[in-house]
Structure 1
Amino acid sequence: MSDLVMTVNNLTVYREHYLAVRDVSFSLEAGTDTAIVGPNGAGKSTLVQALLGILPRKAGEIFILGQPLSRRGRLPSVVREQIAYLPQNFLFDRRIPITVEELVELGWESPGIRLPWLGGRQRFQQVRQALARVDGAHLRSHSISSLSGGEMKRVLLAYCLVRPRSLLILDEAPAGLDIQSESEFYQLLYQLKQEQGWAILQVSHDLEMVRRHCDRVLCLNRTLRCEGIPEVALSPENLVAAYGSDRTPYHHSHY
């Protein structure tokens, strides 16, 4: 687990005139799961959007798979294709007549990037295999508008699986799921991490899940308040430093 997937140096990000993230540095290794935790308004989603090149940064450097993310959020296409992103909410027009299989196939290519070494038959097999890995083969002909929240999350993981990835970024991806569906989502996610060797970076409010599953924690409140393994980063003293003494972090008691 010594291969660096991402390196962030002294990252500072503004939202208009508001200083949202200040002087943040960390790195991600292949095959590890890192959680970003902190109170509402701490800059967690801002940090993720800056790492994806969605938001511009004021200062700092971001390297993904050894390649620098430009100030305009650009990466070499061969690197960009190794990043998958699951947002908190997947917004789409439910009137669009697209099936699960068609949605997963969209993960095969991005504009300007083609895989000539695989034809239509191989592509079809890859889509079917990705759905099978997330126990979603029975959904392939379903309209995406008919899916439950848990089924949609599985389909989006299949979208990530349809081609090789190195980095999976999640911004509270299980939000809106019931307790059982959330538990199933995490079990599947960590099984896939082991199989695929993904580096995972995820925003979470569920500290019990973080303690149970994550290898490393970044405690953020505009700046990086603490970091390390869960046993260290989530100590009472560090949680007070990140959340403040008058705030209680959210957790699930069922874990």
Structure 2
Amino acid sequence: MTPLIEAKGLEFGPKAAPVLRDVSLRVDPGEIVTLVGPNGSGKSTLLRLMIGALAPRRGTVRRARGLRIGYVPQSLVLDPSLPITVRRFLDLPHRVGDAEAEAALAQSGADGIAHKQMAALSGGQFQRVLLARAVLNQPQLLILDEPTQGLDQPGQAAFYRRIAALRREMGCAVLMVSHELHVVMSASDRVICLNGHVCCEGTPEVVSAAPAYRELFGTGTGGQLALYRHEHDHAHEGGGAAHHHHHHHHAEG
């Protein structure tokens, strides 16, 4: 299977203290891959390298030809004094037809709010509008950077269910950064644990049992992993073997 996007040997940041070192990552068509890791572990940087907003100091990112990517940023600060409706917001940076706009809002669980002011939206509605903007061009790959920051747990769960539904409807792959481990794990086909480099990766079950993961996150959320278990179609599961990268034990200088 040809990956939609593949990073090899990425390094980013000053040579003496790189933010990312030797990071390789691929996303195949239709899979949900979640990046987890402590703050400052380079997760947002890695996403921005993947979409081409940053250039790596070493390594390569290859995207499938003509790859359509929808990107949902971590947060977007809009000037609250700027009057702009949801519908107009979807016209940035390029105008879209009404039918397209309506379809994207419906797919994102934000139907019926096209005429509202962006400044008047709740956190959950705002995130859904950002999601709608990302799905306007029918992406093959949806990239989300901590999309549920600031939402309460039911709001997070609803948002992740929406992502899983979008994946089913549009057949897109999903690459997302998250810190809501308990919610995320269940929605993912593959979890990649990042701390400047890839510590471990594999199915949620495998990663949550991995020593490197427990070292970073402890075992506190263990009992909650099954919280929002999704019915996976196991068609594209890769055997469930964990790939451990054992160089995470070097003392960070």
Q: 2:151 aligns with which of 177, 180, 193?
A: 177
- After TM superposition, what 4+ stretches of structure 1 lie above 2 angstroms from structure 2? 15-18, 52-56, 105-109, 132-137, 247-255
Q: Is the 8 A contact 1:10 1:59 kept in 2?
A: yes
Q: Is the 8 A contact 1:105 1:162 kept in 2?
A: no
Cα separation, partners in 2 of 1:19 and 1:249, compared to 1, 3 Å: farther
Indicate the residue corresponding to 1:248 in structure 2. 218
SS in structure 2 at match of 1:234:
helix
Indicate the residue corresponding to 2:192 in structure 1. 218
SS in structure 2 at match of 1:130:
helix
Q: Is the 8 A contact 1:7 1:28 kept in 2?
A: yes
Indicate the residue corresponding to 1:28 in structure 2. 27
Q: Is 1:102 equivalent to 2:88 in the alignment?
A: yes
CA offsets 1:145-170 (integer angstroms, 9 cap, x no match): 10000001111121122222111111
Indicate the residue corresponding to 1:125 in structure 2. 99
Report how many residues are paired: 225
**Which AA in structure 1 matches 2:83?**
P
- After TM superposition, the score normalised by the length of structure 1 is 0.80
Q: Is the 8 A contact 1:45 1:171 kept in 2?
A: yes
Aligned sequence identity (%): 33
Cα separation, partners in 2 of 1:57 and 1:135, compared to 1, 3 Å: closer
Residue 101 of structure 1 and its aligned partner are, at CA, apart by: 0.9
Q: 2:206 aligns with which of 223, 232, 240?
A: 232
Cα separation, partners in 2 of 1:92 and 1:250, compared to 1, 3 Å: farther
**Which AA in structure 1 matches 2:126?**
M
Residue 30 of structure 1 and its aligned partner are, at CA, apart by: 1.0
Which residues of structure 2 form unaligned runs of 5+?
A: 229-253
Residue 186 of structure 1 and its aligned partner are, at CA, apart by: 0.9
- After TM superposition, the score normalised by the length of structure 2 is 0.81
Which range moves more in the overlay, 29-38 or 203-212? 203-212
Indicate the residue corresponding to 1:55 in structure 2. 54
Residue 236 of structure 1 and its aligned partner are, at CA, apart by: 4.0
- Pairwise CA RMSD: 2.2
Q: Is the 8 A contact 1:8 1:62 kept in 2?
A: yes
**Which AA in structure 1 matches 2:99?**
Q
Residue 104 of structure 1 and its aligned partner are, at CA, apart by: 1.8
Indicate the residue corresponding to 2:37 in structure 1. 38
Residue 178 of structure 1 and its aligned partner are, at CA, apart by: 1.3
Residue 181 of structure 1 and its aligned partner are, at CA, apart by: 1.4
